Structure 1
């Protein structure tokens, strides 16, 4: 089922991309363009998500440490 779905989405994406870029191609080439674009964008999005998750994890760690220091200073009586 996923291969059929990939071909359908690839055909739609390829159709839109060829019309936006004003390229006239046959149906198999349009599908190939759409499927190839989906694969490239999928890899790119996974890469960006991996980088983003590392960055968000680091930001979260710093914010968590700041909260812990604030709680420690507030409730331990130390400044």
Structure 2
């Protein structure tokens, strides 16, 4: 997957994940969450990606971003 595609998919996944988890982040944090979520989800759902195509990768990216948001909210800096 090219870097441009990773950024675009990561931005979309981060946007969806932050909205589903009901947190407000700036653009760079949203993209970062999405990209890291795409990496985490991509590793976890690699088999599904092989079987069903790019849609499994997108679902994995959203789920991975949601896991990262949950970890951030649970163990991140307290306000």
* Fold similarity call, TM over 0.5: yes
**CA separation in 1, counterparts of 2:8 and 2:46?**
22
Structure 1 runs (4+) greater than 6 angstroms displaced: none
**CA separation in 1, counterparts of 2:20 and 2:31?**
15
Normalised to the residue count of structure 2, the TM-score between the two structures is 0.55
* Residue aligning to 1:17: 17
Q: How many positions carry a matched residue from both structures?
A: 49
Which gives a bigger RCO, structure 1 or 2 (Cα 8 Å, sep 6+)? 2
Unaligned runs of 5+ in 1: 50-79
**CA separation in 2, counterparts of 1:48 and 1:6?**
18
Higher Cα Rg, which structure: 1
Normalised to the residue count of structure 1, the TM-score between the two structures is 0.55
Two-structure CA RMSD over aligned residues (Å): 2.1
